[in-house]
Amino acid sequence: MEMKKSWFNKKNICLFTLLLLFWLILSPKLTIEAILVGAIVSSLVVLYSHDIAFVEKEMPLYSLKKLKIFIIFIGHLLVEIVKANIDVALIVLKPAMPIQPAFIRVPMMLKNDVNKVIYANSVTLTPGTLTVDVKEDEFIIHALTDSAAEGMVNSIIEQYVCKLEGEAK
């Protein structure tokens, strides 16, 4: 392993560019000092975290095709969030409060850790369902109502995350 060569691989340059871009968006004015300080700080972060960011086995996730699926997924997720929000708001405001809280086990259909995080966070973001625990072979999800629990079977989130996972093989 040649250490000198490995600093300038694709992975580190991607990470550096992203960090620098983020710094430039956050900086109030686009001056030479801002760019210089940003470049120094970004390279320090790259040096510090080069072994944990963009690990080899996650690499198949970062492709243009995946990005397209991911953007469509985010669009669907936004619609789901708005729909679910209105549902939960109606439940809370009803005087009788018709809730049937229950835990559901969803069998693990994903292998990649990043996809597991995406799935768990998306489920929590949509109100009515809440990821409680991620175990080796299952997700434990808490559902507010029966309809939310039924919605977890072959949900839109699951379909899209499986699509993200599927082409990674």
Partner 1 sequence: MQYIQSVMMILLLLCSAFFFLVGTVGLVRMPDVFTRMHATTKCDTLGAGLALLALMVNRGLHIISVKLLLIIIFIWLTNPTAAHIIAKAEYNKQNANKKEHSSVEKG
Token pair for 131: 């990821």
Can you list the alpha helix ranges (DSSP code H) found in the chain?
Answer: 3-6, 10-26, 32-49, 64-93, 113-125, 146-151, 156-166
Site for partner 1 contains 140 (CB under 8 A): yes
Nearer to partner 1, 45 or 109 (CB): 109
Number of residues in contact with partner 1 under rule CB under 8 A? 39
Instruction: Specify the amino acid at residue 15.
Output: L
* Closest CB 22 distance from partner 1, rounded Å: 8
Among 88, 114, 156, 168, binds partner 1 (CB under 8 A): 88
CA dihedral 105, 106, 109, 114 (to 10 degrees): -90
Site for partner 1 contains 113 (CB under 8 A): no
Among 53, 58, 70, 85, binds partner 1 (CB under 8 A): 85
Site for partner 1 contains 83 (CB under 8 A): no
